[in-house]
Structures are given as C-alpha cells and as structure tokens.
Amino acid sequence: MREGWRIDLVQMGNDEKFSTGASQAQTRLANVQEGKAAAKLLGVRDVIMMDHKSGELGYVSTTEMRNQLFGLIRHIKPKILFIPDPYVTYQPDRDRRYVGLLAEEAWGYSSGRTFANELERMGFPPYGAPEIFYYSAERPYRAGEGGVRKAKFVARDIGETIAHKVDAALLLNTRNSAWVARRTSLTDMLTVNGYVRAFVEQMARETGAKHGFEFAEEFNHVGPGEGIPDYALERARPKR
C-alpha cells in the first residue's frame, strides 16, 4: 500500500465461531466489522467475504471453492498472491490448510482454459498471477517447513511497519478475546490487548532474529518465471 499497490483481501470463512459467550450471528457481525476496520487501517482496498461457515470448510465442495477462487483471480488480476501455507506442520486450524491448498490449485490453473470454461464465457478469460507468497500464521516457520520444491524461503524487514501491524491486530477485539481465553485466564480487554501486542511483537522479533532484522516476516515464495510447482499441478489435475 505504501508503495502504491492496491490490496484486496478475500476471506473464505464467516468467523461465526470466534468469540466467548456471543451467539453465532453476533460473533459473525462483530468479527466482520472489526476485521474490516483492521483491513482499512492497513490500506486494504476491498474485503471480499465468501461467507462459508468457519470450521466447516472441509465439508464444502472443493470444486465450488476452487471455482470461486478462479473467478476472483480472473476478475481482480492480482500481480501477487498471499496465501496460508498448507504445508505447515501441526496446523490446528484446518480451515487454513483447506484454503491454502485450494488457493494454490486456483493459482496453478486459473491461467488455463481447461478449467472453469463457464467463467470465460461470462467474460473472465484465463489469468495467472505471476508471483505468490505462502505464509505461516501465528508462529514462525520451523526449519525446512512449508512451501516445498520450487518455493524459496525469504524474509522481509518490517521494522518500519510493526507498529501499524500491532494497531491493526488490536482492532480484532472479539477474536482476540476468544483466542487469548483459549490460552490463558485473562479476560479484561486491557490485559488481552497487552497479551496480543506482546505476541505480535515477539513473533516478529523472533522471526527477525533468524534473518538479521529487528522485526521481520518470512514466506515461502515462488517468483515470476519460476513456474507453477509440479505438486500443485499434479494434485489439481483431473483424475480419469
């Protein structure tokens, strides 16, 4: 955003289960509103809600979700994709793995005419994003973990933006309260915010120490011209 990029955020789940004591409808409304406020602070241009039930993506048709991602990629035509890394081990949130796998397949095949022919007839011709970053949520990568084969492990210095990242994280009050409650006995919002701030800063500092920065984020990255990883192509290829 600071360099003039347009940022669009796609959320597959509806966040209806991330709260303490609220109904699913109340939880969804609060999390969506707070998430959009955090995205706005970070300069996100548009938040696109796909509204599948959180925690239940494993029961949704993979073809349906993959085609939705095809449509989004072909409509937005992103230069860079950021997706949750489905190859992170011991991932407690299965939704992240499902979304990561499907997003990787959509990236691999949205440029071909073999898939989603109906989208081309609707005016969305094939398009493939030339660059992709896989990220590990809520903890640094472990040695040799994540995005395999053609992906390269890279780090980015976020020293100038860490305060901005913390401020955005602190806007997620409903989710933060539920997340902290699962780990501690803390309940009042002031203490919860302190915990979240410390966590975000510690993770960025720990990641930075691995790469020679004070604060950093790290990714598995496939750049322009490096091609779609074979494992993504093979997994998405139709079976006979």
Residue 176 lies in a domain: no
Residue 107 lies in a domain: yes
Domain CATH number, residue 127: 3.40.50.10320
Residue 164 lies in a domain: no
Per-residue model confidence (pLDDT) at position 232: 52
Separation between Cα atoms, residue 134 and residue 221, nearest integer Å: 6
Phi and psi at residue 157, to the nearest 5°? -70, 125
Per-residue model confidence (pLDDT) at position 92: 82
Residue 168 lies in a domain: no
In contact, 82 and 133? CB cutoff 8 Å: yes
What's at 1, amino acid-wise? M
Cα within 13 Å of Cα(46), Cβ side:
9
β-bridge pairing 216-222 and 152-157: antiparallel
Residue 166 lies in a domain: no
Residue 202 lies in a domain: no
Residue 208 lies in a domain: no
Per-residue model confidence (pLDDT) at position 224: 78
Domain residue limits at 112? 8-157+217-236
Domain count, the chain: 1
Mean pLDDT by 10 residues, the chain (240 residues): 82 93 94 96 94 92 91 94 92 89 90 84 91 91 78 93 96 95 87 96 95 95 69 47
What's this model's pTM, rounded to 2 decimal places? 0.88
What are 203's two structure tokens?
């993770």
In contact, 168 and 38? CB cutoff 8 Å: yes
Angle at 184 between CA 180 and CA 189, to 5 degrees: 50
Per-residue model confidence (pLDDT) at position 131: 92
Separation between Cα atoms, residue 58 and residue 48, nearest integer Å: 20
Separation between Cα atoms, residue 108 and residue 143, nearest integer Å: 26
Residue 75 lies in a domain: yes
